[in-house]
Structure 1
Amino acid sequence: MPTPDAHRFADDWVRAWNAHDVEAVLAHFHDDVLFTSPVAARVLPETGGVVRGKDALRRYWTTALQGLPDLHFEVVDVYRGESTLVIHYRNQRGDLVNEVLIFDADGQVREGHGTYCPSAVSPSR
Structure 2
Amino acid sequence: MNKPLKMLVGTSIALMLSVGFEAVHAQDDMSAASAPAAKPGKRAKWKADHKLEAQVRHALTTHKVESSDIRVVARSGKVTLDGTVEDESMIPVATTAAQSVEGVTSVKNNLTKHEAGN
Structure having the larger proportion of residues in strand: 1
Structure 1 or 2, whichever has the larger Rg, is 2
- Give the TM-score normalised by structure 2: 0.32
- Normalized against structure 1, the TM-score is what? 0.30
Which of the two has greater helix per residue? 2
- Which structure would you say has the larger RCO, counting Cα contacts within 8 Å and 6 or more residues apart? 1
